[in-house]
Amino acid sequence: MELPLPLRQAVDGALVGVPMTELTVAAKALSQRYRDEVRDGRLHLSDARFALAYIATRMPATYAAIHASLTALAKQQPGLAPRSLLDIGAGPGTVMWAAAEIWPTLDAATLVETSPAIRTLGERIAAARTLPRIAWRDGDLRSGLAEQPHDLVTLAYVLDELAPKDRDTLVDRLWSLTRHALLIVEPGTTAGWQRILTARAQLIAEGAHILAPCAHALTCPIAQPDWCHFSARVARSRIHRLAKEAEAPWEDEKFIYLAASRAPTPAHPSRVLSPPQTASGRVKLKLCNADGAATERLVTRREGDVFRKARRVDWGDVFEG
């Protein structure tokens, strides 16, 4: 997955003239803060150096994870044609870019972001290609969100920056602002998965229909040390590679998400929970199924069409067979 061309160009444009050593140092420090899940009262993206490091080294990965999650949501709700998006903790506007790729119906976005450094950068980047109506709001999500309901509400890579007590209140508030669908994305760590499980239980109790990735609304069948997560392959641009002092032209972003809706999903096919294991004439799939169980399914060539389908699916896809 690559950033769409206008976004890639806008990001590269914003990075022109930034000394590479400065970017590298900031990228390292930012990455360490994310890895340690530091919550010291300071915003990770509080200054311009960190905001630039974010668009160079993190935005491509969060874009890929968000795009994959929104795509899964869209597949489970094919009739959904959102016109308005409310994105909380918008950073540089990553969700808006991904959602605009998926739904041409989208014509308005409200993006709430409390850090002026990343908000200003996001506004600058969005000038490259923007939705007809886009409103950036300076707001702290902990002090309540004075927004109106929107068709699609999103929260990507934000829960991990909040204290547990603030998370529950926020999820409640986001659901109350959701006209059709809500998406939450988190890093694909065990801690990220636990936060998603908590939000899932809360949303189910409030009457939400779970669209994805779960194939059901029963208790999650996965137990630690295993955890539910997915992976998106991200193409690294030259600046991305240099800023990370990395050689490989790509990286894998591990993520977990939850898509919930006001309307039930028309079907709940099984979802592939890990990379399929393929050998001659057989494919082994780890699946989350509609009956609430996680199972391993061995599909052999003898199953004809089902086998052909099994050979085509990937980690995170749905599987019917």
Ligand X SMILES: C[S@@+](CC[C@H](N)C(=O)[O-])C[C@H]1O[C@@H](n2cnc3c(N)ncnc32)[C@H](O)[C@@H]1O
- Contacts to ligand X by CB under 6 A: 43, 45, 59, 62, 66, 89-91, 94-95, 113-115, 118, 140-142, 156-158, 161
Nearer to ligand X, 62 or 178 (CB): 62
Nearer to ligand X, 158 or 318 (CB): 158
In the complex, minimum distance from the CB of residue 4 to ligand X, in angstroms, rounded to a whole number: 15
- What are the φ/ψ torsions at residue 271 (nearest 5 degrees)? -120, 140
In the complex, minimum distance from the CB of residue 258 to ligand X, in angstroms, rounded to a whole number: 15
Nearest to 299 by CA among 272, 264, 267: 272
Q: In one letter, which amino acid is 160?
A: D
In the complex, minimum distance from the CB of residue 161 to ligand X, in angstroms, rounded to a whole number: 4
Nearer to ligand X, 62 or 237 (CB): 62
Nearer to ligand X, 114 or 237 (CB): 114
In the complex, minimum distance from the CB of residue 116 to ligand X, in angstroms, rounded to a whole number: 10
Nearer to ligand X, 130 or 274 (CB): 130
In the complex, minimum distance from the CB of residue 270 to ligand X, in angstroms, rounded to a whole number: 28
CA distance 156 to 97: 13
CA distance 261 to 38: 31
CA distance 126 to 51: 15
Q: Which two tokens stand for residue 119?
A: 């908000």
Return the residue nearest ligand X (CB atom).
Answer: 91
Q: Facing residues of 278 across strands?
A: 283
Nearer to ligand X, 122 or 276 (CB): 122
In the complex, minimum distance from the CB of residue 211 to ligand X, in angstroms, rounded to a whole number: 19
